[in-house]
Amino acid sequence: MQVNLVIDGHPVHTAAGNTVYLAAKEAGIVIPTLCHHPDLSPVGSCRMCLVEVEGEKSLQPACSIPVRQGQVIRTDTPALHKHRQDLLKLYLASYYDAGYPTGTRDGDQNELIYWANQYQVEIYPKETASPRLAIDSDPNPFIWVDLNKCILCTRCVRACAEIQGRSVWTINGRGHASRIVAGTGTPLLEARCESCGACAAYCPTGALAYKPSIHEGLPEKIVATTCAYCGVGCQIALHVRDNRIIRVDSLPDAPVNGRHLCVKGRFGYQFVHHPERLKAPRVRRYLLEGKRRSAGEPRGDWVEVDWDTALDIAAHRLAEIVNTSGGQAVGVLTSAKCTNEENYLMNKFTRQVLDSHNIDHCARL
């Protein structure tokens, strides 16, 4: 069912049940917000998205009120402009930036600073002169916590509960003394944090960020690719500088995972540049020379070869074992790093080609 309404003088047609914010977005009308995110349940706490609705006595939060037939809405009036300026000044009054970059490419501009610039609010004269709280206040090796930048938007709270299902973060205290805390005020890892980084991915101000890349600066380019840790196929964005990965982030439009990643996918990228990483297949020298090894004899050294050579040696040895001892003399272990299709093919290969039922999967072990 379609609902017809007017936003800023423009007729808008949207589906019944949509919020005013979503209807405006579909019509190309930008309503500022800090606490809202399309992946998370709306709370209307930041009050940046308040709009004027004809017939209503008070301003209404666009992110949470549903559209109604015939509504007339104004999103950008002088009164709303001043309201948003005053809100931004209040947020910046207790905001402290320690000066570290959080890894984005567009001038390292977080959402609070972006909207402050849009509404011509001076940033640094409004900032508090010194940090109220400890910077890097949690020992978690992956999540950087600096609550001097926190505006209590609760995106981290909702992301942890609704995306990751852990409910690590919560709000403690009242009024100006309110803080986000892990568990009952414990370190993150003691509060059952899985270090997935979802809270930092959804944080609009950099109060929560990725610790391994906090001092790495800004990337020269961002490359979209697929995570290699398992067969799910999560899409990731590699932040690259000097041909080295300095940060991994999630892609909002990724069909499999969206902004969600596990701790390995988001933070386990150091193996790419590890000096001991294997970049080509290796075989034992005696196999390359076509020799046989007696029981108890040393296996000898590894030799780096091309893929065709390595696959030929493996195929010949498997065929030899099956021909002389039968398929039950061979066992196959597949991997969670393979896709479902690849594991299916390995199952077929083991049972039908090798004539063996000795196949297992590393995720079960």
Which candidate, 244, 265, 272, 255, places its Cα nearest to that of 201? 265
Q: pLDDT at position 200, please?
A: 95
**Alpha-carbon distances, residue 150 vs 29, 115, 181, 310, 315 (angstroms):** 27, 15, 11, 54, 58
Residue 20 lies in a domain: yes
Other C-beta atoms within 10 Å of 108: how many? 14
Residue 305 lies in a domain: yes
**Alpha-carbon distances, residue 28 vs 11, 24, 80, 90, 133 (angstroms):** 12, 6, 19, 28, 39
**Do 38 and 137 fall within a single domain?**
no
Residue 83 lies in a domain: no
Measured in degrees and rounded to the nearest 5, phi and psi for residue 171 equal -100, 130
**Domain CATH number, residue 132:** 3.30.70.20
Q: Domain limits at 329?
A: 282-364
- Say what the pTM is: 0.86
Measured in degrees and rounded to the nearest 5, phi and psi for residue 285 equal -60, -40
Other C-beta atoms within 10 Å of 269: how many? 22
**Domain CATH number, residue 36:** 3.10.20.740
pLDDT in tens, the chain (365 residues): 899 999 999 999 999 999 999 999 999 999 999 999 999 999 999 999 999 999 999 999 999 999 999 999 999 999 999 999 999 999 999 899 988 766 555 555 689 999 999 999 988 777 778 898 999 999 999 999 999 999 999 999 999 999 999 999 999 999 888 999 999 999 999 999 999 999 999 999 999 999 999 988 889 999 999 998 888 889 999 999 999 999 999 988 999 999 899 999 999 999 999 999 999 999 999 999 888 888 888 999 999 999 999 999 999 999 999 999 999 999 999 988 888 899 999 999 999 999 999 999 877 65
**Do 197 and 136 fall within a single domain?**
yes
Cβ atoms of 11 and 23 within 8 Å: the answer is no
Q: pLDDT at position 92, please?
A: 93
Q: pLDDT at position 231, please?
A: 81
**Do 347 and 300 fall within a single domain?**
yes
Residue 56 lies in a domain: yes
**Do 72 and 11 fall within a single domain?**
yes
| Alpha carbons 35 and 231: distance in angstroms, whole number | 33
**Alpha-carbon distances, residue 37 vs 40, 103, 110, 123, 287 (angstroms):** 5, 20, 14, 24, 58
Residue 89 lies in a domain: no
Q: Which residues of 327-354 are buried (b: 16+ CB within 10 A; e: fewer)?
A: beebebebeeebeeeebeebeeebeeeb
Task: Count the domains in the chain.
Answer: 4
- Strand pairing category for 282-284 and 302-304: antiparallel
Residue where a domain stops, chosen among 167, 184, 218: 218
**Do 183 and 150 fall within a single domain?**
yes
Residue 289 lies in a domain: yes
**Alpha-carbon distances, residue 175 vs 124, 125, 134, 152, 178 (angstroms):** 24, 24, 20, 11, 6
The tokens for 210 are 């990725």
Residue where a domain stops, chosen among 256, 277, 298: 277
Q: pLDDT at position 125, please?
A: 76
**Do 183 and 159 fall within a single domain?**
yes
Q: pLDDT at position 130, please?
A: 86
